[in-house]
Chain A
Amino acid sequence: MGIYIIRVPDIGEGIAEVEIAAWHVQPGDAVAEDQVIADLMTDKATVEVPCHVHGKVLAFGGKVGDVLPVGAELVRLEVEGEGNLKETAAAQAPAAPVNEAKPATQPVVAAVVPAPTPAPNPAPVAAPRAAPAARPAAAPHAVRKEGERPLAAPSVRQRALDMGIELRYVTGSGPAGRILHEDLDAWAARGGVPAGGASIYAERHGEQAIPVIGLRRKIAQKMQEAKRRIPHFSYVEEVDVTELEALRARINQVHGSARGKLTLLPFLIRAMTVALRDFPQINARFDDDAGVVTRYEAVHLGIATQTDGGLMVPVLRHAEALDLWQCAAGVARVAEGARTGKAPREELSGSTITLTSLGPLGGIVSTPVINHPEVAIVGVNRIVERPMLRGGQVVARQLMNLSSSFDHRVVDGMDAARFIQAVRSLLEAPALLFIE
């Protein structure tokens, strides 16, 4: 029998640490080769870690939510024959047994292990009085069952009627939730009274602590990082998409059945990729630690995508080389990949600018947060049909706002405005989109 250790694999992309998202086995379980033992989450994606050997799980290197550096011990197995661990090494670097509260030994782990729970409040100076004899009653604030009559003495009931208080909304502080005169006073003092003013809505007292781990923690960190580092400059412009919509409807009518229907997004992507040729400073990544802005000829477009776990930004690579339908298919593919967790790694990082759209929920204005280290993000608001003046006539036009944010350290307001105006001209005269 030997000990076999599976370490946190190098996922690439320069990722140095991963978070344990889920364990699929428990200590003591027998595992087979290729069986998935854990999900690891990186900045970019969730990856499954398969087992390399047959064996039995001895211990984990961390619990769900722990962050481990690449190369750290992930799981320790007992295997037939020799393992991959020498006895001496085993003694030096044991995996943290799961049933011990001790966090794994690597410093990076220690840094992210949740702070220990605060020390319990110091004991009050006077010892609390002995609790009253065990109450069989549920907590005094227990909610009465539907149809159950409130418990209150006749004098309390009569006074409640006089005060215009419906007893079924009043919580009783007496034994077994009995409503006392004091409860009526408290209710009235809280503004339940005067007559007719008593709220018919019960107060709710539940609360739920949700650990911010996994993807949510990544999102939180990224958002904080972006807002901490980047002085956002936001710019909103209105775009008349009447002609674009007409064109889109026409294209869908002619080609929809054969090539798939197009949304507005592929047109917008096309407009951005065309406009970005003249604004390389906007299609860029700013490594502010190194003080270098890298401009890209390729447009690797981040597509802000809502997934069950939260916001993800998969990447449509080389958007500049895609036609409308390729764009549509590409967006659908990367979004689906993000939602199902099956996106290949190269579709989860390396974007040079990001597009965010909530579709019909787009609102009239938004203030998108830049996907650091990019320097710009374009947000799409909803299309509204509105009366507009055209040549002295009031005509119905379809209008849509673009809400964009730029990294003002490296993108000047003038350039940002010109870029959005360029996009706007392309969208308002959609034929220009297709002229090289």
Chain B
Amino acid sequence: MKEISTKLLVIGGGPGGYVAAIRAGQLGVPAVLAEGASLGGTCLNIGCIPSKALIHAAHDFEQARAQAAGTSPMGIRVKEPTLDITQTVRWKDGIVKRLTSGVGVLLRKAGVQVLHGWATVEDGKTAVVQLEGEAVRVRCEHLLIATGSEPVALPSMPFGGAIWSSTDALSPTELPRRLVVVGAGYIGLELSFAYRKLGTEVTVVEAAPDILPRYDEALTKPVLDSLKKAGVVLHLGCSVQGYDAKNGVHVRNARADEFALPADKVLVAVGRRPRATGLGLESLQLTMNGRAIAIDAHCATSMRNVWAIGDVTGEPVLAHRAMAQGECVAEQIAGKPRRFEPMAIPAVCFTDPEVVLCGMTMDEARSAGVDVLEASFPFAANGRAMTLNAEGGFVRVLARKSDHVIIGWHAVGRSVSELSAAFGQSIEMGARLEDVAGTIHAHPTLGEAVQEAALRALGHALHI
């Protein structure tokens, strides 16, 4: 068997793995990256990026339909719009292709050797990568596990046929007439909105009594209202029993009444689990944290010079966390002292309206015993939101009462995902309410609501 020796072997070419490899290459650390599927991982291929493309297409289509129905408040009228879902998917695939090939270019530029094959770990310093026709044994000083996560299936409804995972839902060949979405987390709701806007009848079944757990009621209410307004049927506090093609999804509610929801497709979006088994990973006998690989503040596992980053290390399963961890590990391998200790990892739901959480939630602050100042500013009082015909939602700030240091930002509304940059920066910089309140925010932008929230927490909001 052919053998390669390198300093760093990265297993997994997702956002965590490819960033680690690029950074290692930049720092002159010889690196090999093994990826059996397309570069870019879940995020670029079957996650963040394709879902956002679909969501945007759906949004535009829905706008056009509203304009055709004569309900556009701006007075825009169009003739009956149509959707070529095949073209939509082709457009989305084009974006994905550009991004993933871009990752390949970046890796090449950084001098990273990419092996397109599945790796099997033999020990903490060796893995065998199965390439087309041949296998290569890679010996390394440092092993980085960045194998990501995969959708969880329900035992009663394995993926396949009418049962979709999120991956299937992002590449439909035709639109189902009736879609039942199991799970009202952010993945389930984002796709519920998208399909509803594309014209599908969508029903959401969620075992918990609320949508979007971890988010408080003030944040989820605009989303809930929007779902209802869009005509999405919600069955909260209901569990899914099974599926048959004739009757659809069998559901049992809290009173143990059973009923069937007719469905052409069923999207199961009940969560993601770390891909910490298979690929020979068990043979390393790493300390686990539940299903995830346990890591310390350096992203080091229980085995020396074996590192793990991203979804395989558990919550929060977010691409930007994996990227930051990848950078952190690469720099450590290059000899720099680093720790992964962010003050805040923003989380975004691309529902309609969008929801952003950055830093501490109210409950977290309360249980940490922090005495807080809290204030929110509604987009109803923001000029730009009015011109976007998106007056729902608000920006909320949480600061320590004692010294006004900002510890959390929460927002719900159109395009608030873009505010997460400001949120994260102010928290990482240790900004106080006065710092944000004293920064000129451009007018007219949604960002003014950020400044106004800080002003309001200080007791002198200007526009409310």
Binding site for B on A (CB under 8 A): 133, 135-138, 149, 151-154, 157-158, 161-162, 164, 174-178
**Contact: B341 with A153, CB < 8 Å?**
no
Residues of B contacting A135 in the complex (Cβ-Cβ under 8 angstroms): 403
**Contact: B336 with A162, CB < 8 Å?**
yes
- Per the bound structure, the CA–CA distance linking A73 and B341 in Å amounts to 70
**Contact: B403 with A153, CB < 8 Å?**
no
Residues of B contacting A161 in the complex (Cβ-Cβ under 8 angstroms): 336-339
**Contact: B430 with A136, CB < 8 Å?**
no
From A164, A175, A178, B337 is in contact (CB under 8 Å) with A164
Residues of A contacting B430 in the complex (Cβ-Cβ under 8 angstroms): 151-153, 174, 176, 178
Residues of B contacting A164 in the complex (Cβ-Cβ under 8 angstroms): 337
From B341, B405, B428, A176 is in contact (CB under 8 Å) with B405
Residues of B contacting A153 in the complex (Cβ-Cβ under 8 angstroms): 428-430
- Cβ of B434 under 8 Å from chain A: yes
Of A136, A174, A177, A178, the most chain B CB neighbours within 10 A belong to: A136
**Contact: B402 with A138, CB < 8 Å?**
yes
Residues of B contacting A137 in the complex (Cβ-Cβ under 8 angstroms): 402-404, 432
Of B339, B403, B404, B428, the most chain A CB neighbours within 10 A belong to: B403
Residues of B contacting A162 in the complex (Cβ-Cβ under 8 angstroms): 336-337
- Interface residue ranges of B327-351 to A (CB < 8 Å): 336-339, 341, 343
Can you list 15 pairs linking A and B with CB atoms under 8 Å apart?
A136-B401, A136-B402, A137-B402, A137-B404, A138-B402, A138-B403, A153-B430, A154-B428, A158-B338, A161-B337, A164-B337, A174-B430, A175-B403, A176-B405, A176-B432
Residues of B contacting A175 in the complex (Cβ-Cβ under 8 angstroms): 403, 432, 434-435
From A149, A152, A158, A176, B404 is in contact (CB under 8 Å) with A176
Tell me the interface secondary structure of chain A in the complex. loop
Residues of B contacting A157 in the complex (Cβ-Cβ under 8 angstroms): 341
- Per the bound structure, the CA–CA distance linking A162 and B339 in Å amounts to 11
- Per the bound structure, the CA–CA distance linking A174 and B402 in Å amounts to 15
- Per the bound structure, the CA–CA distance linking A158 and B337 in Å amounts to 8
- Per the bound structure, the CA–CA distance linking A149 and B368 in Å amounts to 13
User: CB-defined interface of B410-439 with A at 8 Å, one 1/0 digit per residue?
Assistant: 000000000000000000111010110000
- Per the bound structure, the CA–CA distance linking A152 and B434 in Å amounts to 17
- Per the bound structure, the CA–CA distance linking A175 and B402 in Å amounts to 12
**Contact: B337 with A176, CB < 8 Å?**
no
Beta-carbon nearest neighbor of A161 in chain B = B337
Beta-carbon nearest neighbor of A163 in chain B = B337
Residues of B contacting A133 in the complex (Cβ-Cβ under 8 angstroms): 434
Beta-carbon nearest neighbor of A137 in chain B = B403
Beta-carbon nearest neighbor of A179 in chain B = B430
Beta-carbon nearest neighbor of A180 in chain B = B430
Q: Within the complex, what minimum Cβ distance (angstroms) separates B338 from chain A?
A: 6
- Per the bound structure, the CA–CA distance linking A175 and B403 in Å amounts to 8
Residues of B contacting A178 in the complex (Cβ-Cβ under 8 angstroms): 430
Q: Within the complex, what minimum Cβ distance (angstroms) separates B360 from chain A?
A: 12
Residues of A contacting B336 in the complex (Cβ-Cβ under 8 angstroms): 161-162
**Contact: B339 with A136, CB < 8 Å?**
no
Residues of A contacting B401 in the complex (Cβ-Cβ under 8 angstroms): 136
Beta-carbon nearest neighbor of A150 in chain B = B430
- Per the bound structure, the CA–CA distance linking A242 and B401 in Å amounts to 71
Residues of A contacting B337 in the complex (Cβ-Cβ under 8 angstroms): 161-162, 164
Q: Within the complex, what minimum Cβ distance (angstroms) separates B402 from chain A?
A: 6
Q: Within the complex, what minimum Cβ distance (angstroms) separates B406 from chain A?
A: 10
- Per the bound structure, the CA–CA distance linking A175 and B404 in Å amounts to 10
- Per the bound structure, the CA–CA distance linking A138 and B216 in Å amounts to 31
Interface contacts beyond A149-B343, A154-B428: sample of 16 additional A-B pairs, CB < 8 Å, sorted by A: A133-B434, A136-B401, A136-B404, A137-B403, A137-B432, A138-B403, A154-B429, A157-B341, A158-B338, A161-B336, A161-B337, A161-B339, A162-B337, A174-B430, A175-B434, A178-B430
Residues of A contacting B402 in the complex (Cβ-Cβ under 8 angstroms): 136-138
Q: Give the 7 A-B residue pairs with the shortest CB-CB distance, closest first.
A: A176-B403, A137-B403, A151-B430, A161-B337, A178-B430, A153-B429, A176-B405
Residues of A contacting B428 in the complex (Cβ-Cβ under 8 angstroms): 153-154
Residues of B contacting A152 in the complex (Cβ-Cβ under 8 angstroms): 430
Residues of B contacting A154 in the complex (Cβ-Cβ under 8 angstroms): 428-429
Residues of B contacting A177 in the complex (Cβ-Cβ under 8 angstroms): 403
Beta-carbon nearest neighbor of B370 in chain A = A148
Q: Within the complex, what minimum Cβ distance (angstroms) separates B26 from chain A?
A: 16
- Per the bound structure, the CA–CA distance linking A176 and B434 in Å amounts to 11
Residues of B contacting A174 in the complex (Cβ-Cβ under 8 angstroms): 430
Q: Within the complex, what minimum Cβ distance (angstroms) separates B399 from chain A?
A: 10
Residues of A contacting B429 in the complex (Cβ-Cβ under 8 angstroms): 153-154
- Per the bound structure, the CA–CA distance linking A149 and B404 in Å amounts to 15
Residues of A contacting B405 in the complex (Cβ-Cβ under 8 angstroms): 151, 176
Beta-carbon nearest neighbor of A135 in chain B = B403
- Per the bound structure, the CA–CA distance linking A149 and B430 in Å amounts to 11
- Per the bound structure, the CA–CA distance linking A124 and B339 in Å amounts to 47
Beta-carbon nearest neighbor of B406 in chain A = A176
Of B338, B404, B432, the most chain A CB neighbours within 10 A belong to: B432
Beta-carbon nearest neighbor of B438 in chain A = A133
Residues of A contacting B341 in the complex (Cβ-Cβ under 8 angstroms): 149, 157
- Interface residue ranges of B131-178 to A (CB < 8 Å): none
- Per the bound structure, the CA–CA distance linking A164 and B336 in Å amounts to 11
Residues of A contacting B403 in the complex (Cβ-Cβ under 8 angstroms): 135-138, 175-177
- Per the bound structure, the CA–CA distance linking A136 and B433 in Å amounts to 11
Q: Within the complex, what minimum Cβ distance (angstroms) separates A218 from chain B?
A: 46
- Per the bound structure, the CA–CA distance linking A133 and B404 in Å amounts to 13
- Per the bound structure, the CA–CA distance linking A154 and B338 in Å amounts to 12
- Interface residue ranges of B285-306 to A (CB < 8 Å): none
- Per the bound structure, the CA–CA distance linking A176 and B343 in Å amounts to 16
Q: Within the complex, what minimum Cβ distance (angstroms) separates B265 from chain A?
A: 44
Q: Within the complex, what minimum Cβ distance (angstroms) separates B321 from chain A?
A: 15
- Per the bound structure, the CA–CA distance linking A177 and B434 in Å amounts to 14
Beta-carbon nearest neighbor of A133 in chain B = B434
Q: Within the complex, what minimum Cβ distance (angstroms) separates B419 from chain A?
A: 19
Q: Within the complex, what minimum Cβ distance (angstroms) separates B110 from chain A?
A: 21
- Per the bound structure, the CA–CA distance linking A137 and B435 in Å amounts to 13
- Per the bound structure, the CA–CA distance linking A149 and B401 in Å amounts to 16
- Per the bound structure, the CA–CA distance linking A178 and B403 in Å amounts to 11
Q: Within the complex, what minimum Cβ distance (angstroms) separates A393 from chain B?
A: 63
- Per the bound structure, the CA–CA distance linking A177 and B403 in Å amounts to 9
- Per the bound structure, the CA–CA distance linking A171 and B438 in Å amounts to 25
Residues of A contacting B435 in the complex (Cβ-Cβ under 8 angstroms): 175
- Per the bound structure, the CA–CA distance linking A164 and B401 in Å amounts to 32
- Per the bound structure, the CA–CA distance linking A419 and B343 in Å amounts to 77
- Per the bound structure, the CA–CA distance linking A161 and B338 in Å amounts to 6
- Per the bound structure, the CA–CA distance linking A135 and B341 in Å amounts to 28
- Per the bound structure, the CA–CA distance linking A6 and B451 in Å amounts to 70
- Per the bound structure, the CA–CA distance linking A281 and B430 in Å amounts to 77
Q: Within the complex, what minimum Cβ distance (angstroms) separates A251 from chain B?
A: 64
- Per the bound structure, the CA–CA distance linking A420 and B432 in Å amounts to 74
- Per the bound structure, the CA–CA distance linking A220 and B133 in Å amounts to 96
Beta-carbon nearest neighbor of A145 in chain B = B369
Residues of A contacting B338 in the complex (Cβ-Cβ under 8 angstroms): 158, 161
Residues of A contacting B434 in the complex (Cβ-Cβ under 8 angstroms): 133, 175
- Per the bound structure, the CA–CA distance linking A154 and B328 in Å amounts to 13
- Per the bound structure, the CA–CA distance linking A153 and B403 in Å amounts to 16
Residues of A contacting B432 in the complex (Cβ-Cβ under 8 angstroms): 137, 175-176
- Per the bound structure, the CA–CA distance linking A175 and B400 in Å amounts to 13
- Per the bound structure, the CA–CA distance linking A365 and B171 in Å amounts to 93
Beta-carbon nearest neighbor of A178 in chain B = B430
- Per the bound structure, the CA–CA distance linking A174 and B431 in Å amounts to 10
- Per the bound structure, the CA–CA distance linking A206 and B403 in Å amounts to 22
Beta-carbon nearest neighbor of A153 in chain B = B429
Q: Within the complex, what minimum Cβ distance (angstroms) separates B229 from chain A?
A: 41
Beta-carbon nearest neighbor of B336 in chain A = A162
- Per the bound structure, the CA–CA distance linking A175 and B432 in Å amounts to 8
- Per the bound structure, the CA–CA distance linking A110 and B401 in Å amounts to 50
Q: Within the complex, what minimum Cβ distance (angstroms) separates A306 from chain B?
A: 44
- Per the bound structure, the CA–CA distance linking A133 and B339 in Å amounts to 35
